[in-house]
Structure 1
Amino acid sequence: MPDLPDATYLTDFHAYRAEHDPDGRCWTYLERTWTWGEAWHDVRRFAGALQAEGIVRGDRIAFLDKNNPAILTATQACCLLGSANAIVNWRLAGDELDYVINDAGARILFVGHELAPSIDLIRDRLVGVERIVVVGGDDDELEAWLAAATPVERQPGVDPDDVCLVMYSSGTTGRPKGVMLTQHNMVVHTLSAMGDIEYGPDDTMLVAMPMFHVGGSSYALFGPATGTHGYIIREVDPQLLAGAMMAGATHAFLVPAVVAALLQAGPQAMALFSRLKAFSYGAAPMPLPVLRGAIEHWPDTAFMQVYGMTEMGGVVTILDDAAHRDAEHPERLVSAGRPIPGVELRVVDVTTLQDVEPGGSGELWWRTEQNTVGYLGRPEATAELLVAADDGGGPWLRSGDIGRVDDGGFVFIEDRVKDMIITGGENVYSPEVERVLAEHPAVLETAVIGVPDDRWGETVKAVVAFRPEHTVDPQELIDFARERLAHYKAPRTVDVVEALPRNPSGKILKRDLRKGYWPSDGRQV
């Protein structure tokens, strides 16, 4: 791997490439390839255009689009001004969209042309948005907006601790929360989270994961750091994936559901991806049959599993290629690997808040310079997330995951304190779904859980009890939820019971509900 440039600000990586390799390949998207010099000029123009609109340090913009290099350009442009880019999940339904955009406090909204009609429907509810810029298509406004701008450099007063990204993560209220990530958070992550995977100017990274996920944006930032060409596709689509492989992709980061689909597609599809030098996966557990099948079909590919969360800027543990092939410890294939450099871990009893004995299970608490500075406008939620340290160091971040560490330092994720469901790499927070189902007139009470699925890792299941003298077909409840939520959040299945199990204090026992669906080996995540 080439030496990584010194970086204090997130834009230092790209500026270095533009200076030292201006004609090298930066990004390929649709029919165009940008050089490092051209892409850096776009960053500076974008910053100049934002400045001309009155965007200053501390302000926020929002970007709603499928994968597009303009999203990465916008993020880096914000870095030059000390402002932040809130990247919005394009799969959200209308009432979710206006909530996130308004919560972000975005002054300018950039929207992909395919998604512009959904914004037209809620425009009158976007109370703080001063301007909307359509990106792409016949009605593109971005190019003319940039062409009229004067490029600018980093502005005086900009600090590495300025927030540069706001990424929305589901919250305990059932509404998403904006995770604030600083330039320093992302610089540290970029320098620490590549593991032993080799990247370089002769390689091509397939950038397929949605950029509204921290995994999509943080992975794409490895390109400027290493000088690696990024091949960006709009979304995870079989034809687009195959096109990327035919174009020479050497590195990829995907969710396990994609690998399961490739295995189902047959040997020809697996053979196409066997050209990869390195394959990274994460965002959801990889079912063992799928993982073993991939290792068998791709014997010359280096494998890397990653575990992390939005609140930690991305990756905090890595299961490297050697561990994937360690015949003496096959049980570690289901682990999350070991912490990356600069990351500290405690395993804490959720009742006493004291460290458990070595090898014991508890909530995973993390400390790293990657940790978020908090949730946007949510001081109480931030206080629940970040716990002050007794040693005078930085705060510990409560992950909400239950796990243990073996004698080799490998972390095993066993359950979740929070009721998060991960389906195909998408996070679904059960109270958000429960809140919607509870609005149906026939529903008395409901609990939403994740159940195992060989392709998606987990799928969403609702368990409901009806009001007296009420009953509806389960499909009606599924359709009801799909009208109000992104489809991946809506339950795939609905079970009807007379009453939900509860403990003496009245709390619904979701663990009891899960028992009928999860294997008996202890895994419930």
Structure 2
Amino acid sequence: MRLIDYLDKGASLDPDAPCLVCDGVVSTYAQVRALSDRVAAALAAREVAPGDKVAILSANDPTAFTCVFGISRAGAVWCPINPRNAANETRELLDLSDCSVLLFQESFAPLVNSIRTALPGLTTLVCLDGAPEWALSWDEFLGAGAGPVDRHAPGDLALIAGTGGTTGRPKGVMLTGANIEAMTAITLMSYPWPVADARPTYLALAPLTHAAGVLCFPVLCRGGSIVIMRRPDVEEFLDNLEIHRVTHTFLPPTLIYMVLDHPSLDRRDLSRLQCFWYGAAPMSTSRLEEALTRIGPVMAQLFGQTEAPMMISTMSPADHFAVDGSIARARLSSAGRPSPLVTVAIMAEDGRLLDRDERGEIVIRGSLVMRGYYGNEPATAEASARGWHHTGDIGYLDRDGYLFIVDRAKDMVITGGFNVYSTEVEQAIMAHPAVADCAVVGLPDDKWGERLTAVLEVRPGARVDTRELISFVKERLGSVKTPKQIEVWRTLPRSKIGKVLKTEIKNQLLDLPG
């Protein structure tokens, strides 16, 4: 399936049903489909051929999201740009993916203006809601089209997504229609959905350029509606859950913590909510247990990466509970079980596949895995060595088939000759009631080789006694895995999608340039 096929499927169920909702304005499937037709025709009029790359730089916005389907209908390839990127990062992504067209909101005009001369291949600039003199206005762009246009991208290529790495030049991940179809199929078979002809309502607060966006496709093919939030606001998020009787939503853990800390949460009617996805970063098991109690038995984990979107493993709401209905605490720190269409194995450094409960690199196979990195054969070959896709995560499969991610390979700390996985220490620290979030890193140390170091954020109004916290962790993990150094910071540095930047934390602790 092409990306446009998900919209067309929803439209075939009921063209007059609500499709996109934003700021109280409802666009029906027929209206969204008609606008996607106009975008496709306008791209064709600008000589955008099948396989050409078209980027979108926008905050969450229904017009910008509709352009995704117009790009697909034209047979072009969507290149999502994170709106939180710095100018140089955006320039690199546009350059490496060979984009010829950029659709952008006026609020990003200064950024686009600062990089456009360095991108000679970027021949068409379109402002969605304004008219800088060096770009086409939205009306000018659409006015040139003469449809209908309905084409296929060569080789089934659907989008090129930039990796979320924090060091070095980003890589462009090539995802095909088959990759997105596998992700969509896994989503539909692994999580609860309304029964019979009832349609889901999905609330999108997180950026549509990332997980929140691709989760729209299974909603669309069921004829559901998507409520788009332009900016992150917890009060508004809770309002929308009630007003729109939302059935599905997604947030990264940092935002879920903010929801749990919001004073009005316990007064809200969330009875329609069936599936509250969390992912993109590890979640505190103590706060997850709190969410299961206060938000409801609706929490649903997903684990994936840009190269294998969203659904390497899944944990449905029911999987969070034991047979007797109690919370299954032992599995809350897992990433769920390998999804039905993905083969997951654990590999040793020498390429051997390991047994249950043995730790090694998580490797996968299946139609979820990317085609490769755009224009980067060496990186593609490295990621697919020995016939498996290498995730770069260290983990193990337990006897019940649950996948546990113990660390990124690069984040493991070797202290006193022992391997210490930072995520295990972080979970122990975050069980303390005063800790909001934390990151554990290793710093050079003459005695230990690496000194286990924790940097914390505390909850509003709370205070942390570091000596008491060290005792708290030691009781749970023993002395080897207890940090030798604890720092309390007002906020931890994070990426555009909310992941804690451990490299930046290390640099700050060592007083190195970022």
For normalisation by structure 2, the TM-score amounts to 0.77
Aligned to 1:377: 375
Q: 2:60 aligns with which of 61, 67, 74?
A: 67
Q: CA deviation at 1:247?
A: 2.7
Aligned pairs for 1:122-161 within 5 A = 122-136=115-129, 141-155=137-151, 158=153, 161=155
Aligned to 2:98: 105
Aligned to 1:311: 307
Asked if the contact 2:203/2:248 (under 8 Å) is kept, the reply is yes
CA distance in 1, matches of 2:239, 2:394: 40
Structure 1: gaps (5+ residues): 1-7, 390-395, 421-448, 466-477, 500-525
Cα gap change, 1:22 to 1:325, in 2 (>3 Å):
same
Residue by residue over 1:456-503, the C-alpha shift from the partner in whole angstroms, topping out at 9 and shown as x without a partner, is 7555979699xxxxxxxxxxxx9xxx9x9999758468665599xxxx
CA distance in 1, matches of 2:120, 2:443: 37
Q: 1:291 aligns with which of 279, 288, 291?
A: 288
Structure 2: gaps (5+ residues): 413-421, 446-488
Aligned to 2:418: none
Q: Which SS does the other structure have where 1:334 is aligned?
A: coil
Q: 2:395 aligns with which of 392, 398, 403?
A: 403
Residue by residue over 1:308-333, the C-alpha shift from the partner in whole angstroms, topping out at 9 and shown as x without a partner, is 11101222211111221224842101
Q: CA RMSD in A?
A: 3.2
Residue identity opposite 2:364 in structure 1: W
Q: 1:177 aligns with which of 171, 175, 182?
A: 171
Cα gap change, 1:241 to 1:498, in 2 (>3 Å):
closer
Q: Is it true that 1:325 corresponds to 2:325 in the alignment? A: no
Residue by residue over 1:426-447, the C-alpha shift from the partner in whole angstroms, topping out at 9 and shown as x without a partner, is xxxxxxxxxxxxxxxxxxxxxx
Q: 1:30 aligns with which of 5, 23, 26?
A: 23
CA distance in 2, matches of 1:79, 1:495: 43
Aligned to 1:189: 183
- How many matched pairs? 437
Residue identity opposite 1:369 in structure 2: S
CA distance in 1, matches of 2:511, 2:150: 62
Aligned pairs for 1:187-266 within 5 A = 187-194=181-188, 195-199=190-194, 201-213=198-210, 215-248=211-244, 249-266=246-263
Aligned to 1:84: 77
Q: Which SS does the other structure have where 1:28 is aligned?
A: strand
CA distance in 1, matches of 2:139, 2:145: 10
Residue identity opposite 2:373 in structure 1: Y
Larger mean CA deviation between 361-370 and 73-82 belongs to: 73-82
Q: CA deviation at 1:303?
A: 1.9
Q: Which SS does the other structure have where 1:265 is aligned?
A: coil
Cα gap change, 1:170 to 1:408, in 2 (>3 Å):
same
Q: Which SS does the other structure have where 2:215 is aligned?
A: helix
Q: CA deviation at 1:233?
A: 1.0
Q: 1:282 aligns with which of 279, 283, 289?
A: 279
Aligned to 2:409: 417
Aligned to 1:506: none
Aligned to 1:94: 87
CA distance in 1, matches of 2:170, 2:232: 23
Asked if the contact 1:177/1:375 (under 8 Å) is kept, the reply is yes
CA distance in 2, matches of 1:231, 1:172: 31
CA distance in 2, matches of 1:374, 1:187: 17
CA distance in 2, matches of 1:498, 1:259: 32
Cα gap change, 1:190 to 1:328, in 2 (>3 Å):
closer
Residue identity opposite 1:362 in structure 2: G
Aligned pairs for 1:453-492 within 5 A = 454=430, 491=504
Q: Which SS does the other structure have where 1:66 is aligned?
A: coil
Q: CA deviation at 1:178?
A: 0.9
Cα gap change, 1:415 to 1:192, in 2 (>3 Å):
same
Asked if the contact 1:274/1:297 (under 8 Å) is kept, the reply is no
Q: Which SS does the other structure have where 1:291 is aligned?
A: helix
Cα gap change, 1:207 to 1:43, in 2 (>3 Å):
same
Aligned to 2:416: none
Q: Is it true that 1:346 corresponds to 2:340 in the alignment? A: no
Residue by residue over 1:98-137, the C-alpha shift from the partner in whole angstroms, topping out at 9 and shown as x without a partner, is 1111112111111112111121222222221112111235
For normalisation by structure 1, the TM-score amounts to 0.76
Q: Is it true that 1:46 corresponds to 2:45 in the alignment? A: no
Q: Which SS does the other structure have where 2:300 is aligned?
A: strand
